[in-house]
Amino acid sequence: MEDPVGEDAGAKGHGNMTDLPPAAESDEATRIAGLRSSFGRGLLGTPLTGLRLSWAVRSENADARQLEYQLAVSSGNGEWDVQPAIAGEVSTGIRDARGFSAREVRRYAVRVRTQVGWTAWSTPLTVEAGVPGDELDARVIGIPSEVAGPVPLLRREFRLETAPRSARLRLSALGLVDAWINGVRVSDALLTPGWTSYQKRVLVDTLDVTDLLRAGDNVLVAAVGDGWYRGPFGFARRTAIYGDRIGVLAQLELTSPDGATEIIASDESWRGGFGAVRSAGIYDGTIIDQSLDAVGVHEPGFDDTGWTQASIIETDLARFEPRASEPVRVIAEREMSIERRNDRLLLDSGQNVSGWVRLVVRGAAGDVVTIRHAEVLEPSGELHTAALRKAKATDVYTLASDGEHVLEPVFTFHGFRYADVVGDAEVVSATAIAISSDLEPRSTFRSSDAALDQFHSNVLWSQRDNFVSVPTDCPQRDERLGWTGDAQAFAATANTLLDTEAFWMSWLRDLEIDQTDEGGVPSVVPDIIRRQDMLMGGTPTDNMGRAGWADAATIVPLAVYESYGSTEVLERQLDSMRRWVGHLRRRAGHGIVLPTEPFQYGDWLDPDAPAARPWEAKVSSDYVANAFYVHSARLVARAERLVGDAQAASQYDALADSVAAATWERWGEEAVSTQTGAALALEFRIAPEERRAGLADALAANVARSDGRISTGFLGTPLVLFALSNNGHVAEAYRMVLRHEAPSWLYQVDRGATTVWERWDAILPDGSIHGGDMDAGNSGGESGGMLSFNHYAYGAMIDWVYRTVAGLAPDAESPGYRTVHVAPRPARALDRAAATIATGLGELSIDWRLDGDALEATLTVPFGARALLDLPLTESSTVTVNGDPAPAELHHGTHRITVTAPAVA
């Protein structure tokens, strides 16, 4: 029974940490394995609202269920407030309805009651709230500086009587900022504050800098780069997109040992000047001349004659807000091989990454070292730099002294596997530094097919390389934009590979911010593309509301909900979702279906589209647009039903049904004749019920006829395998997946790809590199190349691999893996697969193999989840679990499943 809460734990249920009430009846076989917050791991200074808690439970008791849970909250004074127990099994997405005040620290502990009794309390989780921009004393400050010119340094010296008991630095910028206290970098975060829709939202990092401060003189220095804010960006290379002045926002908050507080904030008392960094741009790279280093800048008493007084950059501080998702950090370091090629050294990291090269060189004062980057080599062995378009992706260093130097660029990143170095200095070592938004890995996959495993690795790397603050199309050329089409195509896969919930929720806020008053959703978020930037076939193109791109507004929130299980993403996005479908409805007017638009991307990069006109897919873009209209309307209906208005839900469903019927009537033939057409008709339920089986047969026949040749672009690719396997054609799905001839997924693997290509044939069967030409392409018409080796869109098939090969799928109605469909589909050509997914409830895993005439699977289900078995059966199959007849559903624990005479594709 329940504890006499608080009776022995201080007045009214309060007590200090050790006083959390013990359980009268306790379940010692069950414990809380992890209590976590919905904000990024280890973040300090989080938003004041929106906190959700989740915990995983481990239990040796197979029958244990969470009957209720109880939270204890401690608000700084060490006393616990034990809250009333709440009945139910839910253990993810638990909100603390009370918002935080600025800087408030709260600790949480949780325990759950099973049939046996209460567990022990979890290890406490500490949450420390940040400070909203309009409560900051700091001002954004800068000194005059040129776009792509020397990087300003801003500096302030201050004296402390004693070393502080604690110190927090709130740090942000209009631009990008690095900061040091007494010469030590304040954080391992990179590209701070990251990219958001700056006109409305700039993030603030909070850092614990207690250990960097000392009694006596201290020095705080910040460097401010152009970054996304002011540097040349977008394929039109416009500058000053968000503003023409860059500056830093820094607020150091000190608490002395006696409890006195002091704030040292960026203001006009700071002084600024320049140092060794002569130029730093995201696309172009960094130029560093060590001889111009501001020597002694980190020391007290630095001679700043020649420096200027900082001035305040007037800006609305309300747009500064605490960060909620992990920042960009170094996620891997790879030693590069070094080979001499004529006048240069060729470096190879063996893996396409986003980041830069750390060079250790030995040289003489005045030596210049130039390093260029590329994803692939020309057949001649030279770097292939055409694909970079106008991005220089070059770092240049001038040495100031004889001897060994460690060289690294700042405020930039390159997409590369190879690099070449020219210069007199001797290269001692070269390390590829890979960066990414530091999201926790969530899954693993391996199978009996080494090429498929490599493709999985390539997709994961493409996600890493492109999740750099926002989800981008590619990390190497003069683009690196948050293309919404690529994001929606990849969202479900992204959710499985890395813990992306907070990342998406941040980006979706920008999507909503950048939505037009009429509900139109841009093709890139943050939206920096203006109409005139984009030319397709020579004509300016409207970037708003393009089918399959703008639908990220509905598709991404539902994908996040399904994978992570909290309705919060839907609550936050519902208005944006409604406005997008409202926009489509207005565009359709009285005609039910959408009229033909001057331009749609359509099934972009269909392998049969003319190479230079990737929007000219086989399938009609009008049909595609209406299919996505139907899908978005249905997704809004689901969101309405879950968190909005049930009546509105029925209206959206009715809208979807009528558009689907009209679409089918008008374009049904499209559906039968192309892979993407059929996939849309089946997966988005455009085809009437009675036509589905025939349509699926036609799709399967199409695939069989072409020997598994994929003929879909960005929009059809995420759907086509599901359209097959959900309709009884697993064998044909495998035929596509395991095909090695171009175009196919594994063709790239055979060609040495380590990330996913943008074009199916980026390297042609004869080994030559695709020209990448675009008709007066969207690069503004000049260089026109469109050829990236690191685009995740086609990697969207990995979602199918988890759900259908490994056989672990979250249930749409009982999301976040609370209900898991265990549905592995073995094939003769793939007789073993294993996967793990770190769900919010704990680890879910499967390891299956075909063994003689049986399928043997080991399935581990986390506490709080139920697994529904959907096994590959034939008429003569029997199913046992741990030797007994299979129950209807399985709960936590490890289960050995045997299926005799399984269906094998």
Interface contacts to ligand BGC, rule CB under 6 A: 473-474, 479, 483, 485-486, 601, 604, 778, 786, 791
CB of 198 to ligand BGC, least distance (A): 22
The span from the CA of 91 to the CA of 56, in Å, is 7
Sort residue 10 into left (φ over 0), alpha (ψ -120 to 50) or beta.
left
CB nearer ligand BGC, residue 554 or residue 566: 554
Residue 362 CA from chain centroid, whole number? 38
CB of 613 to ligand BGC, least distance (A): 11
Helices (H) and strands (E) counted in the chain, each on its own, are 14, 46
CB nearer ligand BGC, residue 130 or residue 234: 234
- Nearest by Cα to 250 from 170, 307, 175: 170
CB of 901 to ligand BGC, least distance (A): 45
Asked if residues 631 and 550 have their Cβ atoms less than 8 Å apart, the reply is no
Which are the catalytic amino acids?
Answer: 479, 758
- Nearest by Cα to 176 from 223, 131, 218: 223
Asked if residues 148 and 279 have their Cβ atoms less than 8 Å apart, the reply is yes
CB nearer ligand BGC, residue 476 or residue 566: 476
The span from the CA of 243 to the CA of 528, in Å, is 12
The contacts of residue 97 (CB under 8 Å, 6+ apart) are none
- How does DSSP classify residue 85? P
CB nearer ligand BGC, residue 254 or residue 529: 529
CB nearer ligand BGC, residue 676 or residue 778: 778
Tell me the residue number closest to ligand BGC, measured at CB.
473
CB of 758 to ligand BGC, least distance (A): 6
| Structure tokens that stand for 772 in this block | 């990448």
Strands 166-174 and 271-274: unpaired
- How does DSSP classify residue 806? I
Placement of tokens 């006195």 in the chain? 260
| Structure tokens that stand for 127 in this block | 């949450």
CB nearer ligand BGC, residue 433 or residue 624: 624
CB nearer ligand BGC, residue 220 or residue 786: 786
| Structure tokens that stand for 689 in this block | 């019920």
CB of 464 to ligand BGC, least distance (A): 17
CB of 850 to ligand BGC, least distance (A): 38
CB nearer ligand BGC, residue 486 or residue 527: 486
The angle at the Cα of 496, spanning 490 to 497, to the nearest 5 degrees, equals 85
- Give the long-range contacts of residues 766-773, CB within 8 A, separation 24 or more: 767/379, 768/379, 769/376, 769/378, 769/379, 769/384, 769/386, 769/387, 770/611, 771/611, 772/386, 772/387, 773/611, 773/612
Bridge-partner residues for 403, per DSSP? 363
The span from the CA of 554 to the CA of 580, in Å, is 8
| Structure tokens that stand for 742 in this block | 């171009």
CB of 493 to ligand BGC, least distance (A): 15
CB of 713 to ligand BGC, least distance (A): 10
The span from the CA of 405 to the CA of 407, in Å, is 6
The span from the CA of 716 to the CA of 682, in Å, is 11
Residue 566 has a CB neighbour count (10 Å cut-off) of 21
